Chains A and B, each alone.
Chain A
Amino acid sequence: MVDCDIHNHLTEDAVSKYLPKKWRDYDRQFGRRMTPGDFYPKATPMASRTDAWPPGGGPPGSDLAFLRKQLLDAWPIEVGILNTLISVRNQFRDYDAALATAANACQVAEWLAPEPRLRASLLVPYEDAALAVAEIRRHAGDRRFVQVLIPSRTSEPLGQRKYWPIFAAAAESGLPIGIHFGGWSGGHPISGAGWPTYYLEYHTGMIQTFQAHLISLVCEGVFEEFPGLKIVFIEGGLAWIAPLLWRLDRSWRQLKAENPNLRRAPSEYVRGHFWLTTQPIEEPPEPSQFAGMISGLGMDDRLLFSTDYPHWDFDNPDSALSSFPGPSLRQKVRRDNARALYRLD
C-alpha cells in the first residue's frame, strides 16, 4: 500500500545543521516565529497520537526507527510520502528560502537516503514565487521528491496570479502541488466569519481553506493556463466536494460572463486536475452513505489512501480502507492511484 500523508518532524536543531553559517546565526538570533491564531488547546500534545512519542525521546515523527516500527512495518506500506510541516512562512522571505532549502537537504540525508520506502514533498517558500521556483529547480530530476507542498492557509486564494510561477515550475517538472492543512495566512482568520472559539470548530471547519482554494483555482482559470497541473488536497476530506460542485457548476452557468477565460464547467476542471487523500475518513451514520458519496463524487481514480501518522486523527488502514466499496476501488485507493500519480515505479 502507499501512505500519502506521513508527518516526519524535523526539529529546529536538525534543520539548523543544514543551514549555511550566515543563516544558522540568523536562525539562532531571530528564529522562527510562532504563527498567531492557532492557540487552542488541541486534542493531544502536538496534535499527535499519545502512543506516538518515541521511547528514545523527541517529538512524534522525529525518530525514523520508531516510525518504521509503528507505521511502515506495521502495515505493508511500500511507499510513504512525507509531508513535513515546519513553517517556511516567516516575515523575511530570504530566511524562509534558506529554511526550505535546509529542510529539504535534511529530509534527503536523514529520511530519504536511509529509508528507500520514503518519498517527500518539497518545501518551498510559497509566498514568494521566484524563491519557490528556484527551490523547485534545485531539485529537478530528484524523483524522491514527488510533489511541491503548500499549506492550505496562504495569504491569498491559491488561484491568484502571484502563485502561478510555482504552478508553471511544478507542471514543467511533472510535480503535483500538494495542499495540506496548516500554515499561516498572514492575518486572515481561519474562517470567513472570524476566529472560532474552540479547537473542535477549528478542526471541523478546516475544510473551508480547501473549499476556497478549489473555487479559486478553478475560477481564476489556472487549469486553462496550466493544462498539465495536478493538485492534491491532503487531509481536506471528500464528502463536501460533490455538494460544492453542484453549487459551483450551477453558479458558473449563471455567472460565467464574469471570467470569460473559463471554458468548461468547474466540476470538469476539478475531476480533471484534482486528487484527494482519504484521511480523516468520513464516518456517516450509515456505511452505505459513504458508498453513495464516493459514487456521487465520481473520482475513483483520484482517491489516495493516507494515515496522517502520527497525528491524533490518524486513520488505521484496515478500518479506513474497508469504507470503500468493492475490491477494485479499494485497490485503487490503497495503492494504484498513488503509484500512477506520483510515478512510483
Chain B
Amino acid sequence: MDSPGSQAIDCDVHAVLPSIEALLPFLPAYWREQIGQTGFKGPTGRWYPPGLPTSERPGLRPADGSPAASRVEHIQRDVLGQAPHPSHAILNCDCAVESLHNPDAASAVSGALNEWIAAAWLAADARLRASIVVPSQFPELAVQEINRRAGNPGFVQVLLPVRSEAPYGSRNFRPVFAAAARHGLPVALHYGGLPGNPPTPVGWPSFYLEEYAGMTGVFQTQLISIIAGGVFDEHPGLRLVLAEGGFAWLPAMLWRFDKNWKGLRREIPWVRRPPSDYVREHVRLTTAPADAPEDPAQFRDVVAQLGSDAMLLYASDYPHAHGDSASDAVWSGLSAELRGKIMSANARALYKL
C-alpha cells in the first residue's frame, strides 16, 4: 500500500530473540547461573511448528542460520529500507514469558527482554519504538515492569499476548490497564501466547491451521471482556491495539455485542453506551493480516462497517507472512484520505510520534 501524505508508520514489526543467551547480560546473577546450570532455554522453544510458512517469509533467513528479524540490521534493510519506507516501526517482541509459571523467572526474563530491546534495538536506531514485554500472568509484576520502562520514550505501549488464562477484562488484570493509562501508553493485544489452557472453548485442535485461523475468536473474547469489564469506563484515555488478528471479523461481532448489551446491560451498568461506540473510540487494529474479501467493493464495505476512519493502523508484520491476505489492489480501492490515515496519521496520533 502506498502512503499518501506523510511518511508511513509500521505498527507491527517483530524483534526476534535468537536464544536465551542474548538475555544473559541483562539477567540478575541468580538467573544467569540458574539458566546456565539447568539448561533452561526459556520460552523460546518450538511453540510453533518449525518451518512454518507464516513465521518467516522465504529468503529472509541469514546465512548463519539465525532467525530473521533477530538483529537490527535485518529491520533496517527489510522494513525501514523498503517501501513504504516507514519513518518509525513499532517492535513487538512476542516471547512467551506468559508461559513461565515461576513469577520471579517471568519477571526476570521480562525485565531482561526489555533491557535487550532498549540496548540492541532502540539505542541502535532512532526510528524504532517498542512495546513493553510484561509478565502478564502476574499483574502486580507486570505493573512493576511497566513502571520501570515507562521513563524510556522508546517504549510506546504495553504488550499482552492475546491468549491468556483469564480474559483481560477480569478484575484481577485491572492494575495493568491502570499502569498503562497512568503512563499514557496504549495496550496492544498481539496474536499468540502460551498460557497453558487450550486456544478454543472445546480443547486442543490437531493442526496449527486451526489454531491460527481460530485466533480471531480469542481476540473477540478479549475485546468483549475488556469492554464489559469497564476498563474504558475506568480509563477514558486508554487505547487498545489489536495486532496481527485481522479486522474483518469486527463488524459482525459488534452487531451481536450491541444487541446483547441492549437487553443485558443491567449486568454491566457502567457501560452506558453501545459497545460499538467504545470500540470506535478506544480500539485500533493493525492491517496485517486483513483477512477481508478480495472483491474491492466488499472490502470497502467491511472497512466502512468498522465505523471510523481512525481505527486501522498499517503494519507489515515483518518477518511474518500471511500469504495473499488483502492485496495492494484492494487497499488502493480506499480513498487517498483514508489510506493516509491508515498508513500514518492514525499511528502518529496514537503513539504521539
Is A219 engaged at the interface, CB distance under 8 Å to the other chain?
yes
Name the CB-closest residue of B to A213. B202
Mark the stretch among A16-24, A92-100, A156-164 that contacts chain B.
A156-164
Q: Do B252 and A282 touch across chains, with their CB atoms under 8 A apart?
A: yes
**Distance, CA A248 to CA B322, complexed state (A):** 11
Does any Cβ of B come within 8 Å of A142's Cβ? Answer: no
| A192 and B214 form a contact (CB under 8 A) | yes
Contacting A at CB under 8 A, from B187-239, are: 195, 197-210, 212-218, 220-222, 224-225, 228-229
Enumerate chain B residues within 8 angstroms of A285, measured Cβ to Cβ.
255, 258, 276
A104 at the interface (CB under 8 A from B): no
User: In the complex, what's the smallest C-beta–C-beta distance from A213 to chain B, in angstroms?
Assistant: 7
The answer to whether B256 and A197 touch across the interface, beta carbons within 8 angstroms, is: no
Interface hit among B106-114, B289-297, B331-339 = B289-297
Q: How far is the CA of A41 from the CA of B267 in the complex (A)?
A: 9
> B247's closest neighbor in chain A, by CB?
A243
Contact A216/B166 with A243-B248, A296-B293 known, Cβ cut-off 8 Å: no
Chain B residue numbers with a CB within 8 Å of A240 are 249, 252-253, 256
Q: Which of A76-84, A129-137, A183-191 contacts B (4 or more CB under 8 A)?
A: A183-191
Q: Is B162's CB under 8 angstroms from A193's CB?
A: yes
**A192-B221 in contact (CB<8A):** yes
B249–A219 CB distance below 8 A: no
Contact with B along A206-230 (1 / 0, CB 8 A): 0111011101100110000000000
On whether A209 and B202 interact (CB within 8 A), knowing A192-B163, A251-B209, A296-B298, the answer reads: yes
* Residue A255 CB within 8 A of the other chain: yes
Q: Does A331 interact with chain B (Cβ within 8 Å)?
A: no
Cβ-defined contact, A293 with B163, below 8 A: no
A208–B212 CB distance below 8 A: no
Binding-face segment, B77-85, B87-95, B122-130, B167-175:
B167-175
Q: Is A289 an interface residue (CB 8 A)?
A: yes
Chain B residues with CB under 8 Å of A243's CB are 216, 246, 248-249, 252, 291-292, 302
Q: B323: CB under 8 A from chain A? A: yes
Q: Does A28 contact B (CB under 8 A)?
A: no
- Which of A157, A193, A237 has most B Cβ within 10 Å? A193
Residue of A nearest to B299 (CB): A246
Quick one: closest B residue to A246, CB to CB?
B291
Q: CB within 8 Å of B: which of A50-71?
A: none
Interface residue? A283 (CB, 8 A): yes
B29 on the A face (CB < 8 A) = no
* Distance in angstroms between the alpha carbons of A228 and B165 in the assembled complex: 38
**A159-215 interface (Cβ within 8 A of B):** 159-160, 185, 188-201, 203-205, 207-209, 211-213, 215
Residues in chain A near residue B169, CB distance under 8 A:
196-197, 201
| A213, B200: Cα distance in complex, Å | 9
Alpha-carbon separation in the docked complex, A313 to B260 (Å): 9
Q: B19 within 8 Å of A by Cβ?
A: no
Q: Are A250 and B206 in contact (CB under 8 A)?
A: no
- What residues on B are CB-neighbors of A207 within 8 Å? 217, 256
Contact in complex: B216, A185 (CB < 8 Å): no
Residues of A with C-beta under 8 A to B258? 283, 285
Closest 8 CB pairs of A and B: A239-B252, A254-B323, A212-B200, A247-B291, A194-B166, A191-B221, A208-B217, A192-B218
Residue contacts A-B, CB under 8 angstroms, 24 given: A154-B203, A157-B203, A185-B203, A192-B201, A193-B197, A194-B170, A198-B229, A200-B261, A203-B264, A205-B224, A207-B256, A216-B206, A219-B205, A243-B292, A243-B302, A244-B213, A246-B248, A250-B323, A253-B324, A255-B54, A255-B208, A255-B209, A289-B305, A292-B301
Taking beta carbons and an 8 Å cutoff, which residues of B are in contact with A? 49, 52-54, 162-171, 195, 197-210, 212-218, 220-222, 224-225, 228-229, 246, 248-249, 251-253, 255-261, 263-265, 267-268, 276, 289, 291-293, 298, 301-302, 305, 321-325
Q: 16 other contacts beyond A246-B291, A251-B213, with CB at 8 A cut-off?
A: A156-B203, A188-B203, A190-B201, A192-B200, A196-B228, A201-B225, A205-B220, A207-B256, A209-B201, A215-B213, A247-B289, A255-B53, A255-B212, A282-B259, A283-B258, A289-B251
